[in-house]
Structure 1
Amino acid sequence: MPGRCALVTDSTAMLPPEVAAQRGIVVVPLQVAIGAEVHDEGSPEATPERVAQALREFLPVSTSRPAPAAMLAVYESLAARGVEEVLSLHLSAEMSGTYESAQLAARQAPLPVTTVDSRQVGAATGYAALAAADVLDAGGSVAEAADAARRRAQASTSVFYVDTLEYLRRGGRIGAASALFGGALAVKPLLSIEAGRVTTLEKVRTASRALGRLADLAVAAAGDQQVDLCVAHLASPDRAGSLRDELADRLAGQLSGRAVWFGEVGAVLGAHVGPGMVAVCVAPLVDKPASC
């Protein structure tokens, strides 16, 4: 019999399938269109490798949110299994309509659904989901779990490097003027997520300097806190692997034996950042409420 409360997130949260299964987190996929084909993120037809190849070949690649009906079907299936309440946590509403779909579906759901906008993307949303799962597993309420998720998402730092701003421009995540400026100067932009949006953090001249700055920014974000750490990439395993190894060494005290998550971003995020992207997420641990 499932627990009284269930936790739902979306595929951009980058939760490894085995982690989601172990923690009982339901993952709703976004969709990726490559040419005329539309597939769920995470399916064999919508892999990061295929998206990277399509972008290199200038094939049209786009993404879309889960429809409200798809979200409602998830909530209805949980109710049918005996779940009494749902916490539905998703990527920034400034970046996707997924959160809106969750809100619309929640109004028609046969059980109470609390929706949370993480104001983050990628692993930061995933770590927020795990903070919520910790609270629920310890007997906390959905309200307490939602608060833990918000606090961890707000405390997290997401910074990333892209080879070009063109893919973000195509997806409407940055303005055309910013993309043109970056391309004209041949700079390597460092970006971050601020208030739920992609913002330019710094501009450097070479990829090696960009990766060095990513490492320094991650160390600064961690400070002396205990953290979880994710290093992700799209079609850039060597660069990302070197960064992972450096950060695992420099932040050994803050990790206290916890493994660094490492791998390619999902197809949806990959479609917007393009091949060569390297990202770091630093997520400080948060305290559980006293009632847990």
Structure 2
Amino acid sequence: MSTAVITDSTATLPATVVAEHGIRVVPLQLVIDGGERIEGDGVDPSVVIEALRRKAEINTSRPAPTTFLRAYEQAAKGGATEIVSVHISGGLSGTVEAARAAADEAPVPVRVVDSRLVGMGLGFAVIAAARDAAAGRSVDEVVERVERRCGGSSVRLVVHSLDRLHRGGRIGGARALLGSALAIKPVLHMVDGHVEPLERVRTAGRAIARLQELTVAECEALPEWADGVEVGVHHVDAATRAEPLAAALSERIAGPVELSPMSAVIGAHVGLGTIGVVVSPRPRD
């Protein structure tokens, strides 16, 4: 039995990692000032940053089920007898729904997993699933371990403004913060696949400090099934704040810290100045 692992472009995986682990990536789409673009096909985070700076109209859309079906067919032609397809939270995107529709028509069995995460929260889980598949674990084991990892992971965000989330309808319970004083910087987190408010602080500097405090505390209290942790720091045109945060976390936690821009699609929804931190516990072998 050969298990292929498929994800989508919001997993924020570098091309070298995708190639190394044989992961197939289905891209989401952006529409910038009426022109349709494919994430990853000449569209990287810098494209969205430029568009956000000039206040362009930006929308995003899920892949079509036929796009997923082609990916599943290609995996089967490449020798896969089973597929694990892991994707961005269904609470934020219809991507999982499209994957499930395509799975019904796929030439081999497909297990679709809603990560209920974004960014490297999804990416770390996908890499681990690919490693498990390559190690010969059964598809049931791959799915159980990826679901456990996703369920134990966290995503926290500090956004400069709630405007982009509000426009895109991805604001969840953070809607309650709309209209707050401009000095208030919301710390948000993912809860059951949705964006919810966690805390409100007075300055951007304090918000970043809280991200660090919360991340370190979580890494020091991992679940008993975990064997270490991986941490990711994302940003949208905010390297001057994200880089010191990543460096500080590297000194305080026992595990790697990956620093990368947010994917173009996620950046379009959270806006300029956003910083995110992902904590992803590794299940024991």
Helix, strand or coil at the partner of 1:12:
helix
- Structure 2 residue aligned with 1:51: 48
Spell out, residue by residue over 1:128-177, the C-alpha distance to the aligned partner (whole angstroms, 9 max, x if none): 11221222122111111011111011111111100000010011011695
Q: Which residue of 2 aligns with 1:85?
A: 82
Does structure 1 conserve the Cα–Cα contact (< 8 Å) formed by 2:166 and 2:175? no
> Matches of 2:218 and 2:14 in 1, distance apart?
24
Q: Indicate the residue corresponding to 1:231 in structure 2.
A: 233
- For residues 146 and 17 of structure 1, what CA distance do their matches in structure 2 show? 23
- Aligned residue in 2 for 1:153: 150
State the identity as a percent: 44
Partner of 1:244: 246
- Aligned residue identity for 1:235: D
The TM-score normalised by the length of structure 1 is 0.92
Aligned-partner SS, 2:178:
helix
Which shows bigger deviation, 53-62 or 144-153? 53-62
CA contact (8 A) 2:232 2:278 kept: yes
Question: What is the letter of the counterpart of residue 159 of structure 2?
Answer: V
Q: Once the 2 structures are TM-superposed, how far is the Cα of residue 180 of structure 1 from its aligned partner? A: 2.6
8 Å CA contact 2:89–2:116 kept in 1: the answer is: yes
CA distance in 1, matches of 2:234, 2:146: 21
Deviation at 1:181, TM superposition (A): 2.5
Q: Which amino acid in the other structure matches residue 136 of structure 1?
A: A
What is the TM-score when the length of structure 2 is the normalising length? 0.94
Cα distance in 2 between the residues matched to 1:188 and 1:40? 32
Cα distance, 1:62 vs. partner? 0.7
Post-superposition offset of 1:271: 0.2
Gaps of 5+ in 1: none
For 2:280 and 2:34, how far apart are their aligned partners in 1? Answer: 37
Residues 6 and 86 in structure 2, CA contact (< 8 A), matched pair in contact too: yes
Once the two structures are superposed, what CA deviation does each residue of 1:196-240 show, in whole Å capped at 9, x if it has no partner?
000000011101000000000100111154211111100000100
Distance, in Å, in 2 between the alignment partners of 1:115 and 1:246 is: 36
Which residue in the other structure is 2:184 paired with? Answer: 187
Runs (4 or more) in structure 1 with deviation over 2 Å come to 175-182
Q: How does 1:155-174 map to 2 (within 5 A)?
A: 155-174=152-171
Aligned match of 1:105: 102
| Deviation digits for residues 100-145 of structure 1 (CA, Å, limit 9, x no counterpart) | 0110000011111111111111111111112212221221111110
Judge conservation of contact 1:157–1:221 (CA < 8 Å) in 2: no
**1:143 and 2:143 aligned:** no
What is the aligned counterpart of 1:69 among 57, 66, 70?
66
Q: Equivalent residue of 1:160, what SS? A: strand
Cα distance, 1:275–1:84 mapped onto 2, change above 3 Å? same
Q: Does 1:214 align with 2:216?
A: no
Letter in 2 for 1:196: G
Structure 2 counterpart of 1:115: 112
Secondary structure of the corresponding residue to residue 24 of structure 2: strand
The alignment partner of 2:267 has SS state of: helix
Quote the Cα distance in structure 1 between the aligned partners of 2:204 and 2:110: 44
Corresponding position: 1:18 with 2:20: no
Aligned AA (1:13)? A
Structure 2 counterpart of 1:42 = 40
Q: The residue matched to 1:140 in structure 2 has which SS?
A: coil
- The count of corresponding residues between Structure 1 and Structure 2 is 279
**How far apart in 1 are the matches of 2:238 and 2:46?**
11
2:230 maps to amino acid: D
Quote the RMSD (CA, aligned, Å). Answer: 1.4
Matched to 1:227, the amino acid is: V
Identify which range, 273-282 or 172-181, moves more after superposition: 172-181
5+ residue gaps, structure 2, are: 223-227
**Residue 6 of structure 2, aligned match among 5, 8, 14:** 8
